[in-house]
């Protein structure tokens, strides 16, 4: 068992820095805007600039795996480099992979992304639950053992998934049952470990309304897309997560930061500005 779980580590990072997470989304369009060719080497350059600008100002960095994967094995080599640099720098990393499969396949994804010996080791990885949380046990066990975190997409920031996420099971809406399942896992972890937050996080779009979602008793961290470019303000985020545990809300921002590159000073200034806005809104 690692000394501290991911929930606690993220909570401390948020307290030490800010509730901001920088999304690392090196799309072809953004690389062009930075004056970089669309190559694996440019993925590394953008990653290193973002890490340099973000260090000490944000709680975590979230590379979107798809933008690396589009360069195949060489893109993943760039991602390995970026993730290793985060680790060296002491900056938490969240691999936004949205993996979701069953049983032995999830064991393999755990080997890919979670813990010691993983080629693509990140502090946390995102998952999608369409095949059921219960089918991901092997990944969850590995994450707990290794002090890593899981962020499960529960309520996405885009509208197209809402019909599925709000569909009704025999025990409430899909999103409510997922939140309850993850929350129960956090509760069991907290009871065993004596920590105050568990490693099971939920992705909740900033564009959502709390509605029937029991956010305040969740016992884990929230990863919040949809801030800034996607339309939600810091005060929207503050309202949505009112009453949740201190330091449990991590707000992702990508485009409105990355658009300011390639100069590290410009990136850092925008990160500083957004971090301050979020600190004010969430405290």
Q: Are 254 and 61 in contact (CB under 8 A)?
A: no
| Residue 71 or 260 with smaller CB distance to a copy of itself | 71
Buried b (16+ CB within 10 A) or exposed e, 240-262: bbeebbebbbbbbbbeebbebbb
Give dist(CA 186, CA 281) in Å, integer: 26
CB of 266 to a copy of itself, least distance (A): 22
CB neighbours of 238 closer than 8 A, spacing ≥ 6?
A: 281, 282
| Residue 19 or 26 with smaller CB distance to a copy of itself | 26
The answer for 103, left when phi > 0, alpha when psi is -120 to 50, beta otherwise, is left
Helices (H), the chain: 6-16, 28-33, 40-54, 65-69, 72-89, 103-113, 137-146, 162-165, 174-193, 234-240, 255-258, 264-282
| Main-chain dihedrals φ then ψ at residue 75, nearest 5 degrees | -65, -40
CB of 62 to a copy of itself, least distance (A): 12
CB of 209 to a copy of itself, least distance (A): 18
| Residue 172 or 238 with smaller CB distance to a copy of itself | 172
The secondary structure of 168-229 as a DSSP string is: EETTEEHHHHHHHHHHHHHHHHHHHH--SS-SEEEEE-TTS--TT---TT--S-EEE--BGG
Give dist(CA 182, CA 176) in Å, integer: 10
- Active-site residue, from 85, 87, 98, 255: 98
Give dist(CA 197, CA 218) in Å, integer: 9
In the complex, the residues that contact a copy of itself under the rule CB under 8 A are 25, 27-29, 64, 66-67, 69-77, 79-80, 98-109, 111-112, 118-120, 128-135, 153, 156, 158-171, 173-174, 177
| Residue 74 or 217 with smaller CB distance to a copy of itself | 74
Reply yes or no on whether 98 is catalytic.
yes
CB of 102 to a copy of itself, least distance (A): 5
CB of 26 to a copy of itself, least distance (A): 9
CB of 64 to a copy of itself, least distance (A): 6
| Residue 8 or 165 with smaller CB distance to a copy of itself | 165
Quick count: other Cβ atoms within 10 Å of Cβ 197? 26
- Matching residue, tokens 């993220």: 10
**Residues designated as active site:** 98
């Amino acid at each position: 068992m690692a000394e501290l779980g991911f929930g606690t580590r993220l909570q401390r990072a948020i307290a030490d820095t800010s509730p901001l997470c920088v999304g690392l989304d090196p799309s072809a369009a953004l690389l062009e805007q930075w004056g970089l060719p669309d190559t694996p080497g440019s993925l590394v350059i953008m990653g290193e600039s973002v890490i340099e600008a973000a260090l000490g100002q944000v709680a975590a960095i979230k590379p979107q795996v798809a933008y690396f994967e589009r360069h195949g094995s060489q893109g993943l080599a760039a991602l390995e480099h970026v993730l290793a640099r985060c680790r060296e720098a002491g900056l938490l990393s969240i691999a936004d992979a949205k993996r979701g499969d069953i049983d032995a396949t999830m064991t393999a994804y755990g080997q890919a992304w979670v813990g010691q010996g993983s080629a693509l080791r990140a502090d946390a990885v995102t998952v999608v639950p369409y095949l059921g949380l219960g089918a991901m046990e092997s990944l969850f066990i590995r994450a707990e053992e290794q002090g890593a975190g899981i962020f499960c997409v529960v309520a996405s920031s885009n509208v197209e998934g809402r019909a599925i996420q709000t569909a009704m099971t025999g025990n409430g809406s899909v999103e409510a049952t997922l939140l309850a399942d993850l929350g129960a896992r956090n509760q069991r972890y907290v009871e065993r470990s004596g920590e105050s937050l568990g490693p099971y996080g939920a992705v909740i779009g900033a564009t959502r309304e709390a509605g029937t979602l029991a956010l305040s008793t969740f016992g884990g961290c929230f990863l919040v897309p949809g801030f800034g470019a996607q339309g939600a303000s810091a005060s929207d985020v503050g309202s949505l997560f009112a009453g949740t545990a201190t330091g449990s809300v991590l707000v992702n921002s990508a485009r409105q930061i990355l658009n300011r590159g390639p100069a590290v000073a410009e990136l850092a200034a925008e990160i500083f500005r957004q971090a301050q806005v979020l600190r004010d809104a969430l405290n």
